Each structure stands twice: as structure tokens, then as C-alpha cells.
A and B are shown apart, each in its own frame.
Chain A
Amino acid sequence: MSYLVPPGLYAVGDPGPADPVLVTANYRMSYDIVRQSLAGRNVWLLVLETCGINVWCAAGKGTFGTDELVGRIAATRLGDVVSRREIFLPILGAAGVAAHEVRTRSGFTVRYATLRAADIPAFLDNGMTATPAMGELTFTVMERLVLIPVELVAAARVSAPVVLVLLLGGWRGAGEFSLFRLLEPVLAYLGSVLAGCVVTPLLLPWLPTRSFAVKGGVAGLAWAAVWFWLAGGEWWNASTTAASFLLLPAVAAFLALNFTGSTPFTSRSGVKKEMRLALPVMVTALLVGSILLVMGRFS
């Protein structure tokens, strides 16, 4: 399946020279969502070549950008099609487009409309003015929930070799064989993956501090406590217990830190600072924890 829509000028409904021009990316999902939101209206849709990437990411890369927009206006002869010298852009496209430059180079005035395609009908009906809510990002429980499968798939890729090593280790260190002893390390690990990839995103606003690594670390620590209560107790020696309380929070913290890229509010400087502080701690916890785990298992 192709995720690309050919760039160019599209007619939604039966637009005339006086009807508005909206701009979007040539990612099929962006295009479809915008078109659906315009159902029953007469609007021009100018689709930019972003190589199948959504508006926001493409703006960040510069493909949804001033050059492409000016070039596409010329290539589609937009000036011959419409009478008004005005085009409406999604607000998240502003990171790639310099409105004043588009104006001097093409004669068209860029007007930033809304963040979400779903708000376009209200924007159009409202005399082309946006309410403050149309211009502000949100990150609701539902918006976080839909990201979780993506996080899990990304984590699964890294997790396959880890699970394999843990299975071999569990088998080697099982002593008197039991299925639970064999699977114990894997289950503990998978729990910390859930702490980082599911619990942290869902409870994001309520987990302590502003740091994602700390949020994930706390979720991982909670999991370590639950796991200690479920599987540990007398069964574990001091070394295994210490290892669990180091390794499980470290894994969850790392995955939570990776969630920064899926949120709409983390800055590059912030992530940089967090990585500089958190990565050495995680690596140390991982190394010390691994040594303790092996000691606990094979002693």
C-alpha cells in the first residue's frame, strides 16, 4: 500500500475562483483526514510533496516548507485558478514555512488556520477565525493511549534478544528445574517494559517530577516492588533483590525517556539535558544490576 498522494491542486466538491485554498501534506492519512473534514464543502486543496510524511514532521524537516510551497503554487498555477491571494495552512506547518517570505516570493498571503483537521469546518464557518482552543496542543488520555501500541512495537524489537538471553540465563541458573524459575527473569523484564511503555504514558501527568526518566524510574520501581511481593520474598537472596530494584527501574526509565519523541511538548534542549544526566545513571544501574543478578543466580 502506498502512503503517498501525488502533490498538486485538488478540488473538494465543486470550488470556484472565490473559494478558499487549504494546504496539506501528501501523506495519505493527512490528505484523507483533511478531505473528510471538508465533506460537503467547496474548497481547493493544495497538496505539497512531503514524501509521504505528515505535516508536523515534514515541517520539522523542512520538506513542508517555504520553497516547496512557493514552487507548488507556481507549478499548479494557483494564481490563475483562484481570485483571492490567500492560502490557509495548518498551524503545525509553521515550523517549516516563513509566511512573510511566501508572500514576497509568490504574492500569496499565508494564514495559519487550525492545529487539527477536525477544527477546519468550525474555522470556515467562523469566518476564517480560529478560537484559542483551535491553536493549542493537547495530550489527553486518549491521545496518549493510541501511541502505546507504537511504543510496544518499538520496544519489542529491542526486547527479542534480551528475552532470549534471559531465557538461557533462567535455564542455566534454575537449579532445581521449575517452569516459573525459568520464566521468572523474562516476566520481570516484560513487566518493566509495560511500566515504561504503558504505565508511564498513561499516568504521565501524575508521575512525579518533569523528567521522563524519573517518571519511568518511579513506575519501574513500583513494578519492582510488586514483583518482589509476587515472586520474591524468601525465594530471593539479597543479591537478586538488589539486582531487581536496579534493573527493572532502569529499563522502565530508558523506555520512558524514549517516549519523549512521541509527546507534543518536549524540547530538544530538555531531552539533551535529561539524557546527559540520566543515561550514565541507567548504564551504571544496568551494569551493577546485571553483575548482581548473575551472582544471585549462580552463587
Chain B
Amino acid sequence: MKGFAYLRNVATLELDRDACVGCGICARVCPHRVFALEGKRSIIQELDACMECGACALNCPVGEIDVESGVGCASGMINEWLREIGIVRRGKGGCC
């Protein structure tokens, strides 16, 4: 993504190149150009651009992409945590 990148080396994205069938769907669904096709196989060209949305892993027909997907939202995570320790009950979650 032009002009923006988040923290280095934290994304949990992993790709097993040996099992890749080269269909290119990962590159097609990624909105941040994390993947590129090199020869007939996919490579992770920009790990730090990954926002862990999980689209690539879900669409990989051979299931060889792994990522702990979720939403990078601090208030969402704080609310989740507050609910876990029982301070806030489930209720109107403001955003998505």
C-alpha cells in the first residue's frame, strides 16, 4: 500500500511454496499486493503489508496458506478483553 506500512515482522502469514499450484488466487484477493507469482509459484513479496484479513488462506484451493486472521482494531480488542474479564457485558458493539 503506497505510503503506509504497519509494524515490521509481526504478520503471522505463512505460505508453503512446495505445495503451491500457482493458481494465483492469493494475489488476486489480496488488497495489499503481499503475493506475487514467481515462475509458476506464489511468493510472499511483502510480508509487512499483510493486514491478516485471511482472504488468501480461505481461497487457497490447496490450503497451503496459514494466517491467524482477525481485525486490527485496538478498541475492538479492548472491548473483547473487557468482556472476557467481565467488566462490560456483550452489548452494542460500535463498529464492525
Contact = CB atoms under 8 A, between A and B. Distances in A.
A265 B5 contact: yes
A95 B55 contact: yes
Given A54-B96, A92-B31, A139-B1, A264 B51 contact: yes
A267 B72 CA distance: 4
A267 B96 contact: no
A112 B58 CA distance: 14
Interface in A141-196: 154
Interface in B10-29: 10-12, 25, 28-29
A269 B12 contact: yes
Contacts of A268: 52, 68-72, 77
Interface of B: 1-8, 10-12, 25, 28-29, 31-33, 49-55, 58-59, 61, 68-78, 94-96
Interface string A253-273: 000011011111111111111
B74 A257 contact: yes
B74 A94 contact: no
A208 to B, nearest CB: 14
Given A98-B59, A261-B72, A268-B69, A53 B96 contact: yes
Contacts of B68: 268-269
Contacts of B8: 210
B58 A95 contact: yes
The residue among A212, A266, A267, A274 with the most chain B CB atoms within 10 A of its own CB is A267
Contact of A269 (B32, B52, B73, B96): B52
Contacts of A274: 7, 74
Contacts of A137: 1, 31-32
Contacts of A264: 1, 31, 51
Contacts of B10: 267, 269-270, 273
B72 to A, nearest CB: 3
B79 to A, nearest CB: 10
A217 interface: no
Nearest to B1: A265
The 4 A-B pairs with the shortest beta carbon distances in the complex, nearest first, are: A261-B73, A57-B96, A266-B72, A268-B70
Contacts of B59: 94, 97-100
A135 interface: yes
Nearest to B62: A100
Nearest to B25: A99
B60 to A, nearest CB: 8
Contacts of A100: 59, 61
A273 B58 CA distance: 24
A61 interface: yes
B29 A112 contact: yes
24 contacts: A54-B96, A57-B95, A58-B96, A59-B55, A60-B96, A91-B28, A91-B31, A92-B31, A95-B53, A100-B61, A135-B31, A136-B32, A137-B31, A138-B1, A139-B3, A154-B94, A258-B75, A261-B74, A263-B72, A265-B5, A268-B70, A269-B10, A270-B10, A270-B11
A133 B95 CA distance: 27
A230 to B, nearest CB: 30
A116 to B, nearest CB: 11
A210 B31 contact: no
